[in-house]
């Protein structure tokens, strides 16, 4: 009698455990579906913003003489195809690459670039679109949508400038180029204490590529899919420098002070031409 009762209780407990396991399985499935839905919605939202930003930059390059009078001298071709992931200012990602192709309708490239290659850095002012005053920050949201970027001048070929460390998004119209001079940084220059620390500081100490991510990046370099990179080391270095700024993405995981890159895929924003980045 007691044994039969014990068996009955054991069977009841087993059935209850099975029912609970099924309930938890259904709950986990519902949570996975909800996470996938939210990720899809966020991706669609980012894609929509990217298309809107591209249209705004192109619209900004159409000059209205009555209100502006400025005409772009060319447009940037950049390894950064959207605002998300683009450094906050120039030279934070030294291995980032960009090209400025001068528009011969605006300037005569041969004459305009004469002597420029003797400089190591240039200022290409871009027509881009806190808790402290606007003019004490470098926010891109300005009364007049004009930005100033410092970039390394790597090479001049014909009417094209190859730039390093630029913080400009692909398609940015450029108004002017000026050389960086040694006295542009006066010896006695000072800044407030709240911005004395490096603005690129983060807790990320290292970036690790999984074997799969390394293979995908190597394949992209080998087949010429990357516009600005022909060797694996420089491409990997550019990605590492950007991720050490602690820019969050679904393509990598942050593990306290280390970033693990799990995939390297070509990103083409919705509504844009299939650019090789």
Q: What is the mean pLDDT of the chain?
A: 76
R_g over Cα of the chain: 26
Per-domain boundaries in the chain: 203-249+256-263
Q: Which residues, including other chains, have CB under 8 Å from residue 66's CB and lie 6 or more apart?
A: none
Q: Which two tokens stand for residue 228?
A: 């600005």
What DSSP state is assigned to residue 25? H
Tens of pLDDT, residue by residue over 190-214, are: 777 766 655 555 667 788 899 999 9
Please, what is the Cα angle at 51 between 47 and 57, to 5 degrees? Answer: 140
Query: What are the helix and strand counts (H, E) for the chain?
Result: 4, 12
Tens of pLDDT, residue by residue over 177-188, are: 989 888 777 777
Identify which of 106, 116, 46, 111 has the alpha carbon closest to the alpha carbon of residue 75: 106
Q: Which residues, including other chains, have CB under 8 Å from residue 55's CB and lie 6 or more apart?
A: none
Residue 251 has pLDDT above 60, yes or no: no
Angle between helices 211-222 and 232-243 (to 10 degrees): 130
Q: What mean pLDDT comes out for the span 133-158?
A: 76
DSSP sequence for 135-181: GGS--S--SS-EEE--EEEEEEETTEEEEES----TT-EE---EE--
Residue 18 has pLDDT above 60, yes or no: yes
For position 183, what pLDDT does the model report?
78
Residue 249 has pLDDT above 90, yes or no: no
Q: How many CB atoms are closer than 10 A to CB 74?
A: 24
**Nearest-angstrom CA–CA distance, 134 and 142:** 8
Identify which of 190, 205, 80, 96 has the alpha carbon closest to the alpha carbon of residue 151: 96
Q: What mean pLDDT comes out for the span 229-250?
A: 82
């Amino acid at each position: 009698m007691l044994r039969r009762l014990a068996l009955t209780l054991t069977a009841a407990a087993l059935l209850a455990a099975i029912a609970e396991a099924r309930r938890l399985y259904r709950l986990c499935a519902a949570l996975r579906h909800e996470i996938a839905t939210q990720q899809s919605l966020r991706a669609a939202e980012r894609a929509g913003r990217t298309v809107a930003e591209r249209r705004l930059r192109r619209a900004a390059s159409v000059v209205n003489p009555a209100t502006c009078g400025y005409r772009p001298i060319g447009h940037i071709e950049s390894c950064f195809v959207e605002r998300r992931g683009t450094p906050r200012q120039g030279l934070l990602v030294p291995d980032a690459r960009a090209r400025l192709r001068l528009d011969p309708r605006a300037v005569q490239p041969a004459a305009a670039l004469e002597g420029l290659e003797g400089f190591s850095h240039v200022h290409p002012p871009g027509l881009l679109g806190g808790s402290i005053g606007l003019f004490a920050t470098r926010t891109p949201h300005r009364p007049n949508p004009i930005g100033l970027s410092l970039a390394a001048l790597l090479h001049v070929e014909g009417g094209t400038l190859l730039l390093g460390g630029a913080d400009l998004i692909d398609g940015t119209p450029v108004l002017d180029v000026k050389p960086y001079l040694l006295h542009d940084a006066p010896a006695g220059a000072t800044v407030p204490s709240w911005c004395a620390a490096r603005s690129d500081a983060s807790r990320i100490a290292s970036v690790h590529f999984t074997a799969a991510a390394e293979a995908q990046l190597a394949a992209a370099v080998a087949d010429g899919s990357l516009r600005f990179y022909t060797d694996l080391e420089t491409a990997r270095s550019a990605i590492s420098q950007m991720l050490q700024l602690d820019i969050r993405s679904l393509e990598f995981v942050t593990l306290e002070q280390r970033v693990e890159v799990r995939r390297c895929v070509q990103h083409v924003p919705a509504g844009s031409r299939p650019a090789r980045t």
